[in-house]
């Protein structure tokens, strides 16, 4: 057909993995086509993920801090929330970024083809743009199709009162009582937003703690703080039924105290994400997709078909934007003939809750499970001058070291801006740093970054001055 094109490298999906791969491949001289079904570039992260959630979390933070300053002598009026304007601001942040991407694609002569792509052969993708079909033939392909929210069979997802993270970010209204199903990062971030806007929040989590991936001691300060604000945090509890009634959503839950039925105005389902691998007819290209929809790759992001690569959420956990970006660079460079491997030792995780919870590398829970002996340095932020001057004292910085070499192997940090602090530990791990490296590096005072330095000194037993 008239719209048919050929690409040296075609990238399927324009999320953080896809646009990074497309841009890098173009920078390395490849003729690149980027296929995207949605009207704007940027994928989940920019449109309905990382970025809009952080904009709304900023609004939540400002409201919470203003309220808390009341205890320190500064009282503001109760916030007056213009939800349309807030939504508009969030949209403008998204548009600025996705528009920027379109400009960057143009500048690199990356051709964006709009529509839904499916494989029809080992060197061919068919693109369906509202019924108008075209083809993209390719020498090499990078699959970056991402993931979508998991749905559950016993939940009436068609009911407008049942929402996923995308629905929550749409900010349609401020519900009275909202049940957040899933105490993971996404559920807790959206809970933070709706609590600040005035909803009564209940969290239900099947495991025995919220943020199950992080160590309990690191999660506890967050748990304690939100327990005081929210209606309830129900751990070891599962939702077994949801019935849509005129009065609201009648939810049946089973927890340590038995079965309970309660009615909510909205239900946010945040129980995980599933990869989109099964929806691109990968079999036509000979690419294997497992029963969950993941595509297996080697350490160069190659699928079983040597000229087809895959990156991001579609290749596995952790489903995080910075992992997708890193893999996108690896795949693009390998496509361009460079000898590049995915050899990152660690991928940091951050919950942008208040306080933030961040961790990287080995956790204590993991070390225990694997029988690995670790040393640790723990610094309580109650002894950090900077933290106290923010009106906050609940934070903890914990750095883990291997038993004898004192090499840094992991960290868990909770407190305001923990996510920014964990990057230093990621670098320390990548560089093979030890406790002395962290302890002898002069950190600026007074900053929260000092808590990493202090934790290393706690481990070394050399700490003298806490504030
Ligand atoms: P995606 O971003 O999922 O992009 C895939 C793209 O491919 C989409 O644009 C999709 O439309 C397109 N596509 C799929 N199939 C086809 C097809 N067949 N044809 C054409 N186009 C197709 N991660 C973080 O690191 N930090 C955060 O703070 C963070 N916050 C999040 C908050 C929320 C609410 C959510 C839902 C996620 C968050 N994430 C966060 C996760 C992050 O968004 C993902 O890990 C990241 O977007 C994955 O990037 P990707 O490139 O693999 O795919």
Express each pLDDT in 43-79 by its tens digit.
999 999 999 999 999 999 999 999 999 999 999 999 9
CB 4 within 8 A of CB 312: no
Q: Is 312 annotated as a binding residue?
A: no
Residues belonging to the chain: 467
Residue 18 Cα to ligand 1 middle (Å): 9
274 pocket-lining for ligand 1 (C-beta < 6 Å): no
Helix (H), strand (E) at residue 466: none
User: What is the separation of C-alpha 280 from the centre of its chain, rounded to a whole number of angstroms?
Assistant: 24
Phi and psi for 318 in degrees, rounded to 5?
-75, 140
Residue 325 Cα to ligand 1 middle (Å): 11
Pairing of the two strands 124-129 and 132-143: antiparallel
CB 198 within 8 A of CB 173: no
The residue written with tokens 């500064």 in the block is 74
CA nearest ligand 1 atom 36, residue: 49
Residue 179 Cα to ligand 1 middle (Å): 24
Q: Is 182 annotated as a binding residue?
A: yes
Has 445 been annotated as catalytic?
yes
CB 371 within 8 A of CB 365: no
Residue 170 Cα to ligand 1 middle (Å): 16
Provide the token pair at 388.
């106290």
The ipTM of this complex is 0.99
Q: Is 467 annotated as a binding residue?
A: no
- The four Cα atoms 443, 446, 450, 455 give a dihedral, to 10 degrees, of 140
Provide the token pair at 7.
């690409």
Which atom number of ligand 1 is nearest to the Cα of residue 17?
Answer: 51
Asked whether the whole model's pTM tops 0.90, one would answer yes
Mutual angle of helices 83-107 and 16-27, in 10-degree steps: 20
CB 230 within 8 A of CB 202: yes
User: What is the separation of C-alpha 407 from the centre of its chain, rounded to a whole number of angstroms?
Assistant: 27
Instruction: Identify the pLDDT of residue 74.
Output: 97
CA nearest ligand 1 atom 15, residue: 145
Pairing of the two strands 258-264 and 248-255: antiparallel
* Cα separation, 212 vs 228, whole angstroms: 20
Give pLDDT tens digits for 165-224: 999 999 999 999 999 999 999 999 999 999 999 999 999 999 999 999 999 999 999 999
Provide the token pair at 455.
């934790």
User: Is the pLDDT at 465 greater than 70, yes or no?
Assistant: no
14 pocket-lining for ligand 1 (C-beta < 6 Å): yes
467 confidence band (pLDDT: 50, 70, 90): very low
Catalytic one among 6, 338, 440, 445?
Answer: 445
406 confidence band (pLDDT: 50, 70, 90): confident
Q: Is 186 annotated as a binding residue?
A: yes
461 confidence band (pLDDT: 50, 70, 90): confident
Q: Is 406 annotated as a binding residue?
A: no
CB 211 within 8 A of CB 349: no
Give every CB contact of residue 329 below 8 A, 6+ residues apart in sequence.
20, 21, 24, 340
CA nearest ligand 1 atom 37, residue: 49
Residue 14 Cα to ligand 1 middle (Å): 8
């Amino acid at each position: 057909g008239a719209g048919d094109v050929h690409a040296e490298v075609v990238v399927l999906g324009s999320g953080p993995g896809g646009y990074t791969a497309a841009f890098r491949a173009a920078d390395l001289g490849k003729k690149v086509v980027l296929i995207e079904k949605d009207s704007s570039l940027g994928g989940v992260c920019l449109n309905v993920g990382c970025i809009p959630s952080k904009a709304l979390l900023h609004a939540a933070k400002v409201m919470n801090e203003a309220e808390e300053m009341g205890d320190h002598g500064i009282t503001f009026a109760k916030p007056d929330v213009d939800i349309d304007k807030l939504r508009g601001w969030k949209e403008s942040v998204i548009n600025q970024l996705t528009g920027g991407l379109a400009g960057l694609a143009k500048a690199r002569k990356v051709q964006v083809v709009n529509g839904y792509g499916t494989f029809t052969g080992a060197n061919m993708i068919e693109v369906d743009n509202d019924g108008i079909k075209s083809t993209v033939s390719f020498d090499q392909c990078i699959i970056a199709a991402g993931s979508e929210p998991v749905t559950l069979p016993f939940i009436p997802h068609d009911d407008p009162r049942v929402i996923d993270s995308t629905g929550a970010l749409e900010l349609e209204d401020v519900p009275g009582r909202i049940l957040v199903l899933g105490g993971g990062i996404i559920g807790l971030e959206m809970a933070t937003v709706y609590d600040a806007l005035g909803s009564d929040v209940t969290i239900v989590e099947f495991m025995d703690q919220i943020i199950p991936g992080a160590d309990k001691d690191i999660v506890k300060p967050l748990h304690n703080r939100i327990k005081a604000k929210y209606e309830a945090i129900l751990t070891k509890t599962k939702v077994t039924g949801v019935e849509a009634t005129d009065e609201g959503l009648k939810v049946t839950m089973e927890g340590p105290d038995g079965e309970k039925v309660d009615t909510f105005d909205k239900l946010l389902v945040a129980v995980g994400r599933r990869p989109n691998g099964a929806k691109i007819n990968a079999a036509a290209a000979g690419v294997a997709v497992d029963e969950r929809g993941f595509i297996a790759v080697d350490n160069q992001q190659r699928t079983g078909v040597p000229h087809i690569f895959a990156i991001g959420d579609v290749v596995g956990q952790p489903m995080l934007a910075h992992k997708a970006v890193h893999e996108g660079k690896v795949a693009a460079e390998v496509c361009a003939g460079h000898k590049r491997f995915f050899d990152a030792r660690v991928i940091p995780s951050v919950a942008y809750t208040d306080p933030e919870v961040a961790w990287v590398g080995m956790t204590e829970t993991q070390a225990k499970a694997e029988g690995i002996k670790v040393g640790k340095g723990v610094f309580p932020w109650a002894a950090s001058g900077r933290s106290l001057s923010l009106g906050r004292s609940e934070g903890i910085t914990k750095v883990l070291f291997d038993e004898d070499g004192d090499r840094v192997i992991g960290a868990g940090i909770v407190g305001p801006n923990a996510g920014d602090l964990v990057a230093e530990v990621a670098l320390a791990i990548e560089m093979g740093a030890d406790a002395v490296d962290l302890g002898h590096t002069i950190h600026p005072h007074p900053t929260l970054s000092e808590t990493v330095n202090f934790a290393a000194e706690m481990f070394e037993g050399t700490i003298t001055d806490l504030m």
